[in-house]
Amino acid sequence: MSKRSTTTMAAVALVCAVTVLTAPGAAFAAPAPTPSPSGSPSASPTSAAPDTPETAELEAVRKKIDKLYHDAAVATDEYNAAEEKADKQSVAIVKLAQKIAAGQKKLDRLQSSAGAAAREQYRTGGIPREAQFMLSGDPQQFLDNAGRAYQGQQATRNLLSELARTQKDLAGYAEDASAKWKDLEEGRKKKAAAKKKVEKQIKEAQTLEGKLEKKERERLQKLEEEAQQKAQTAWLSSGVLKEIDGKASKAGKEAVQFATAQMGKPYVWGAEGPKSFDCSGLTSQAWAAAGTPIPRTSQEQWKQLKHIAVEDMRPGDLIIYFDDASHVGMYIGDGAIIHAPRPGRTVTVAGAGSMAILGVVRPDA
């Protein structure tokens, strides 16, 4: 990372922290309540109290839209997980096909050898050539031929054993391939169902937004900002930032550098770059660029990566949001994250406490 880019990134994070980091439209669902010092929400999410009937109605619309986008995020994780699993299954099927092809060649060779042995036995009237030599009256020749006969018998037994073993291996490979094809088809069905769910939720949210007048949409965005500001202020007021002084690792700096370079690119569900991202697509690609591959989805990132206390987090760590781990952002320092928020938004900087924090994970622990 250049000195200039490092300075710019730090300045962006600092300004965001000072201004309470109220990036518009950052959350999928209603923001977190006043968090405990550990950064965990202590109650169910709340939002700014409406002051007029019109505001109350618009606040209800905001909550409904947030829920629709949240449900779309959950379905997106399901889609991404199915896609990742399908990719792995496809690779496994290709490897099995290669094993089957190699095994079939080996089987053909062994069967050819076994056939040659059978033909030789037929030509000698059922008595191997070595056994015929054993009928000689010369004792030494008898002993020599006996040894050769034993070796021939051993070779034949080994040939038949290898033939049987290869046939068994081929049957096993075929069975595994069949099972993986079945899993692949089931995965495709899950992926298609998740895609349908994502598109439905996003369409409903966009339709709901589309019914609003221009002034109402502007007010709706203001309500989003106010809700996020309230949550971020509560998080900062807890004093948690005073405890956070971790310095980024080398890989963490590289991951942050990658993520910040994507600023302004649109959120597209299921996308992992280079022109667009969803939330976990951004974090997984950022860490892949830093040389540390991590799970593709926010839920698997939460399950598989090492959990870190909020007060111990450092730039590059991932903050997982909501009880269902349906959203993820990358901590960049000074109380800020960079993340891909939701459809209709772009990769942006936001307050780390502007959504309900589930926990923090470290990819390079």
Which residues have a catalytic role annotated? Answer: 279, 327, 339
Residue 35, Cβ neighbours under 10 Å: how many? 22
Query: How far is residue 319's CA from residue 45's CA, in Å, rounded to a whole number?
Result: 17
Non-local (6+) Cβ contacts of 321 within 8 A are 28, 298, 327, 328, 329, 355, 356, 357, 358
Cβ neighbours around 76 below 10 Å, total: 32
166 contacts: CB under 8 Å, gap ≥ 6: 103, 106, 107, 110
Cβ-contact 81, 297 below 8 angstroms: yes
Strand bridging mode 348-351 / 357-362: unpaired
Closest C-alpha to 336, from 5, 94, 9: 9
At a CB cut-off of 8 Å and minimum separation 6, what does 177 contact? Answer: 93, 96, 97, 100
The two tokens of residue 302 are: 């939460």
331 pairs with which residues across the strands? 337
Alpha-carbon dihedral angle through residues 187, 192, 195, 196, given to the nearest 10 degrees: -140
Helical (H) or strand (E) element with 311:
none
How does DSSP classify residue 246?
P
Joined tokens for residue 327? 């959203």
Q: What distance in Å separates the CA atoms of residue 128 and residue 90, rounded to the nearest whole number?
A: 49
Please report how many Cα atoms fall inside a 13 Å half-sphere around the Cα of residue 225, on the Cβ side: 12
Tell me which amino acid residue 311 is: E
